[in-house]
Amino acid sequence: MEREQQFLFIDFEFTMPEKSEKFRGFFPEIIEAGIVAVVNDRVIESFSSYVTPVHFPTLSNRCKSFLNISQEQVDSGITFQDLVRKLELMGSQYRNTIVTWGNMDMRVLRNNCEQNGLPFPISGREIDLSMEYKKFFGDQNQTGLWKAVREYGKEGTGKHHRALDDALTTYSIFRLVEEDKKYLKKPEPTTIGDRVDFSKLLNKFA
């Protein structure tokens, strides 16, 4: 039997470097994860946690102020290995479509898995909703997540750059775009036979 379809809306926050010897060879690591699992248009699970970085455990001042996140919060987070296990678990029962705003989340997850010698935890189609949004509205520039939601006349959920809030906001935009797509789907073009009632026309000439 074919497995049910699940949409996973994922947002990660990452570490950021500073110009310093400490950050030589730097690559971004996930320090907060927000995941919303949706089956049949219903949120069946949401997950939120800080994640302790492995290779560059000390956060830069830039990272702390930009994300409004503290060293203590990430130090008390789950391990990256635990995050990978959680993603594996959430994706294991379903056919997955993974939806993110931008392509960085999946790129950083793949890189972090490689750097830590762990297998990539979820398989499925990946959608970069920011590109879908850009194509759909014909925008020249890629729009930020919260700007996109405001363009819809809505407000984002919670706080920007909080992973779960951003994942929920991504889900909101996904639903709005899907509704608009349905609305814009053109009906099949009518044939000339549908447009002209031939019986009436023939009566005229009878």
> Catalytic positions, please?
13, 161
| Separation CA 188–CA 191 (nearest Å) | 9
Write the CA distances from 196 to 187, 200, 205, 206, integer angstroms: 18, 9, 15, 17
DSSP, res 27? -
H/E stretch holding 203 reads helix 198-205
Coil, helix or strand for 31? strand
Whether the CB-CB separation of 15 and 28 falls below 8 Å is answered with: yes
H helix intervals, 17-162: 61-67, 71-75, 80-91, 104-115, 129-137, 145-151
Q: CA-based diameter of the chain, in Å?
A: 95
